[in-house]
Structure 1
């Protein structure tokens, strides 16, 4: 993950919606503490930006999944994403989907992409959520891992 340069992207419209996250020492250390298959680090810490207004993400999620998710607007109907936008605490996909099933298209894309058990940790300052870290893996995260 690299810092976004003000000179590289002079306005929010020019920031790419997602960037492929490749070899990163912070992510590698996190993976040693909590094994995961995929990670997405999203949001921007700038004035007047709120998490969920626009997707900016550095991610290891499969590109085909991300492109379909963004291109088809699946975040607008994904119960997990909708819960995440309102979150002040950890959001666990299994708990959200127990209350409301995901759209069939999203369930199919997640299944063929090997994406299971998404768990989102909001990044907040004061009362403002400006980003999140989402982890996913084949098995659910244990309570101790979530607390970490």
Structure 2
């Protein structure tokens, strides 16, 4: 059986396009943290694109930014997309307070050092910032 010489390159290109497209559609979370049960809360979710969110370790560090933030219910990070989704009680906090928590100083648990400007919000619910 003889195969046309263009079939293999076309199949490689098709597999590449489908792989990249599928990865964008079916991304798995890098890190998830639940902080409190929703109970009777008015739950809303905001999506941030965060510069500095690059891997599981930075996703875990960013989760620490919400540990003492009142009203935060859940945090889900997608490091491959630089994306953080935060569910919160809208009666207690809002997107601007969450953005301030993201962009605040980060305490490195291992060394105790405080780092500034580790995370920067690039967009919030699709609206570009800066």
Whether these two folds match at TM > 0.5 is no
Task: Give the helix-richer structure, 1 or 2.
Answer: 1
Task: Give the strand-richer structure, 1 or 2.
Answer: 2
TM-score, normalization by structure 1: 0.25
Larger Rg: 2
